[in-house]
Amino acid sequence: MNLPLIASIVSTTLFVFSMGWYVRDIARGLVKVSVATFAALAVVTASQLAALVAEGSWYQVPFSAVAMTVNITICVLAFRKNTVYFSPLDRFALFGAFFGLVLWYVSGDALLNIYILTVVMLVSVVPIVVKTFKHPSSETKLPWQINLLGSIALMFTIVSPAPEVWLVPLRQLLFSGVLNIALLRKTK
């Protein structure tokens, strides 16, 4: 086994554990989420998964599969709790995901989809980050701390300077790192 494969296994295991815990916290009512946000993220991560497979970025595929599954699960839980609303950013994320797919189909270049999805994902998580900075108690810490460890491990799956290989891990580390900084305020 090589380092990127081990990192892929470790990061995926950590993501499964952290997001399983997060889904449990949502089901228990400890975290409130919007079905629209996670529906948009489910479409984005499904598109990302397909683009990574098409580009042959195999070490990031398990992470994306977990992310897609978790987003769908959270969407179902949020729907059951009747937290349904579409913010402008939710519409942006859905539009961006479909735009990336269309651009990929028209151009035949999955990398264009990954570029678009990177921007869409970074913009679409802004409300979660802002909410967490304003109300750190709106999120539970442990799942996001474990997620950060998984994000760090995911960085070791980068095997080349090609953007399709490093964009997803870097974006994940950035999001998880900023969210963990916001959660530090929870202890104060």
Torsions phi, psi for 31 (to 5 deg): -130, 135
Q: Is the dihedral of CA 121, 122, 125, 126 positive or negative?
A: negative
For the cut 60, the answer to whether the pLDDT of residue 128 exceeds it is yes
For the ranges 5-14, 31-40, 126-135, the maximum mean pLDDT occurs at: 5-14
Structure tokens at 85: 């609303």
Place of tokens 């699960």: 73
Instruction: Give tens-digit pLDDT for 81-92.
Output: 766 667 787 778
Average pLDDT (145-164) is 95
The helix-helix angle for 141-155 and 3-27 (nearest 10°) equals: 160
pLDDT of res. 84: 62
- Contact by Cβ (8 Å): 140, 147: no
pLDDT of res. 60: 92
Contacts of 60 (CB under 8 A, 6+ apart): 8, 52, 154, 157, 165, 168, 169
SS3 2: coil
